[in-house]
Amino acid sequence: MKERLTWFWENADFDTVFNYVSYLDPVEIFFNPNIIVPVLVVLSLMMYQKTTDLGQKLFMYIPTLVYFFVTATVLKNDSISSPGPFAMAFVGFLIVMIWFIWTKMLRD
């Protein structure tokens, strides 16, 4: 797994990520133990009363951090002036700004 992440970090550009996502099989993703086990753990954390808050935070933060990792990798290996990487960076910027507005300004 470490070798695959290292290869992804060093070589993945927008075209590689786009081709990988476009050929994904939903059934293969759903039955992948690397996906289904963390999802079940997070869902079970959300069901138990004392760990509901932790489960909800993990449910929000894990996909966001995965998106930021993929975006950082694409921006590292590709030009931001291309439309795809620019859109990914713009969406990441919007996520950060919306999170900042929600947590710092609207929380009260």
Structure tokens at 108: 């009260």
88: Cβ contacts below 8 Å, ≥ 6 apart: 14, 70, 71, 74, 75
Q: Could you tell me the residue ranges of all domains in the chain?
A: 2-105
Question: Is-contact 12 77, C-beta < 8 A?
Answer: yes
Task: Report pLDDT digits (tens) over 68-85.
Answer: 999 999 999 888 888 989
Higher-scoring residue by pLDDT: 10, 105: 10
Task: Report pLDDT digits (tens) over 43-70.
Answer: 999 998 899 999 988 988 999 999 999 9
User: What does the pLDDT average to over 31-40?
Assistant: 89
**Which pLDDT band, with edges at 50, 70 and 90, does 86 fall under?**
very high
What pLDDT does residue 108 have? 58
Q: Which of 62, 64, 44, 60 is nearest to 52 (CA)?
A: 44
Question: Distances in Å between the alpha carbon of 98 and those of 49, 66, 70, 77, 89?
Answer: 28, 17, 19, 26, 14
